[in-house]
A and B are shown apart, each in its own frame.
Chain A
């Protein structure tokens, strides 16, 4: 028996052949990155934006707290008194110069925490690159949100769907004073294009994925988990039902979008025909 076990032990490495061969049939874990992406976390730290109030006024008051707190020393702010005849921000002063050097920024979001007026928040965009050091310094012209309240989409940035929507997610996710008892209380100002956004749940256990616009990571990666790690309701027949339901919803959404698009196209075609007819009628 001893010898048999010894031999088995000696040749146990042969198990590697079986394992690697089995892997041929297993699903691949690679994602086709630029085309296919993992959903981002609802409060992912990405490229900053400078927010504006609903009336279009800038939120930044040039207090330089963000620059003071920045551990990477990447923010440069200079405040200036608001011109009395056409003020830029509702306060006394406004951010006259606002620059962030993205070669230094570590996206810790301390600036977002420090900001007393929720002027600076972060979008989810992290895919932007430069060919030149000067380009890495974003100025106010690039950071400030556009007239629709969305971040400006600069040509060298790779914006994906949803990256620009939750720019103030962090703020709404964090209970005031970090106390879950204050959860759901609005303590922030309105934003251009959105108004006062509703609070995000989930800190005292309740999740509101609809509000955060994301799925839990566990759910996304479920097919890569060990069977025992998959929640009970997602296993077996129940899981199949659940997945079918989800995909049905997704398909419904897709169908609706397609229908919309089709309607648009038809309308466009009809309009074109009408103009063509009209043109030919005019010509005749």
Chain B
């Protein structure tokens, strides 16, 4: 692995560093640039809203299929307009403000969820570069040099939406839900960030366009394969938790917390949380595709005036696979318990992603460095696993001791090798 990986790495890093910003701004900012930008924003906004509508429909339909049901099929052909109908209904419902709510925060929270969800999509490269009347521009709303940091920043701000929604509702279940949600999101953000750093490290740039371009040469350059498959899985698990999707949806566990942080929300504010949630699913799928699957990269057949569509189709196809996977998760996996969630996050994901990051960093520097760091990481990992094992055993001992103390009056089975005094029975 070392030699081959290394041979690929150095030219790749160099190539990625040569990319610079959006070519749209090369010739200054004129009226054309403004028009293009406004159109891009509007199109992205519209596409996102429509795709959320379709996503909700798709999720309901697919999960029905996986449960031998039919799903929505009344509103529109195949029930396609069901979401629209639900949205319309929510829009016209009474907007309740709980008496004990912190009014300003309660009203602010849905926007804190929604706006970051919308903004993340701006840095996702949807297609290649388009040339119109001498101007070249990228098919993505914005290509800031800090690209992927924006994703992390926005997902952190979204935590505020959840937290404030729960806190400002002035009731218990939302508060519990939001405490769970914020703890979960913050825990998994660490693993998420470290995995992103792995990608950034090998690309040598934070720009999403550069990340995509560095993977564009051929299939073997996709970060999925270039980084070893592990970071992808870590990232997938981390964003599933970040999105509070099943099996990590215990922030809105219906059986325990009613609706979680949005229990007290109704009408359009509730719809906004819902919108944000599904929009996040779509944008995060797009981010996975960008980071690990080469974004819009894929074979483009030479068909005149149609070849610009192929990258977009590749991108959409890849995103669609992830949307399918999210629904599949929901259908197949039971919800985790809170301590299991934290165990996975802190004891497995973070150490593993950190070790992998160090190994990748080593390989970027030099093959022997990489090998050395990998060995050290494995050794430390073994120690860590052993430590966790010992800790768990001790905890179990303490627990069982506590249980036996608590149930002293109940008859216990005599321990083999000891004489029963008869006091227990």
Contacts and interface: CB of A to CB of B under 8 A. Distances in A.
Interface of A: 13, 16-17, 19-21, 23-24, 26-30, 32
A17 B70 CA distance: 19
Given A13-B333, A13-B334, A16-B333, A21 B328 contact: yes
Contacts of B331: 16, 20
B65 A23 contact: yes
B255 interface: no
A16 B68 contact: no
B69 A30 contact: yes
Contact of B68 (A13, A17, A23, A32): A23
Interface string B304-338: 00000000000000000000000010011110000
B68 A19 contact: no
Given A13-B333, A13-B334, A27 B68 contact: yes
28 contacts: A13-B334, A16-B331, A16-B332, A16-B333, A16-B334, A17-B328, A19-B332, A20-B66, A20-B67, A20-B328, A20-B332, A21-B66, A21-B328, A23-B65, A23-B67, A23-B68, A24-B65, A26-B68, A27-B68, A28-B65, A28-B68, A29-B68, A29-B69, A30-B64, A30-B69, A30-B70, A32-B70, A32-B73
A201 B400 CA distance: 63
Interface centre among B64, B68, B70, B73 (most CB of A within 10 A): B68
B332 A17 contact: yes
Contacts of B68: 23, 26-30
Contacts of A16: 331-334
Interface string B22-61: 0000000000000000000000000000000000000000
Nearest to A22: B66
Contacts of A20: 66-67, 328, 331-332
A17 B332 CA distance: 5
Interface residues of B, number: 13
Interface string B4-24: 000000000000000000000
Contacts of B328: 17, 20-21
Given A30-B64, A30-B68, 8 more contacts: A16-B331, A20-B66, A21-B66, A23-B65, A23-B68, A28-B65, A28-B68, A32-B70
A24 B67 CA distance: 8
Contacts of A29: 68-69
Nearest to A224: B68
A23 B66 contact: yes
A6 to B, nearest CB: 13
A46 B192 CA distance: 59
A28 B66 CA distance: 10
Nearest to A14: B332
Nearest to A13: B333
A193 B69 CA distance: 43
Nearest to A24: B65
The 4 closest A-B pairs by CB, nearest first: A16-B332, A20-B66, A20-B331, A30-B70
Contacts of A24: 65-66
A160 B124 CA distance: 56
B198 to A, nearest CB: 24
Contacts of B66: 20-21, 23-24
Nearest to A30: B70
A28 B333 contact: no
B67 to A, nearest CB: 7
Interface string B69-107: 110010000000000000000000000000000000000
A29 to B, nearest CB: 5
A33 to B, nearest CB: 11
B37 to A, nearest CB: 42
A27 B328 CA distance: 18
Nearest to B247: A13
A25 B331 CA distance: 15
A72 B99 CA distance: 40
A28 B70 CA distance: 6
B59 to A, nearest CB: 13
A21 B64 CA distance: 12
Contacts of A28: 65, 68-70
Contacts of A23: 65-68
Contacts of A26: 68
A110 B73 CA distance: 41
Nearest to B73: A32
Contacts of B332: 13, 16-17, 19-20
Contacts of B333: 13, 16
Nearest to B71: A30
A224 to B, nearest CB: 9
Nearest to A25: B65
Interface centre among A16, A19, A29 (most CB of B within 10 A): A16
Nearest to A16: B332
A75 to B, nearest CB: 38
A27 B70 CA distance: 10
A154 B73 CA distance: 30
A29 B71 CA distance: 11
Nearest to B63: A20
A136 B65 CA distance: 39
Contacts of B64: 30
A18 to B, nearest CB: 8
Contacts of B65: 23-24, 28
A35 to B, nearest CB: 11
Contacts of B73: 32
A250 B333 CA distance: 44
A15 to B, nearest CB: 9
B143 to A, nearest CB: 37
Interface centre among A20, A21, A30 (most CB of B within 10 A): A20
A23 B71 CA distance: 14
B297 to A, nearest CB: 27
A20 B325 CA distance: 12
A32 to B, nearest CB: 8
Nearest to B70: A30
Contacts of A32: 70, 73
Contacts of A13: 332-334
A32 B72 CA distance: 11
A204 B332 CA distance: 47
Nearest to A31: B70
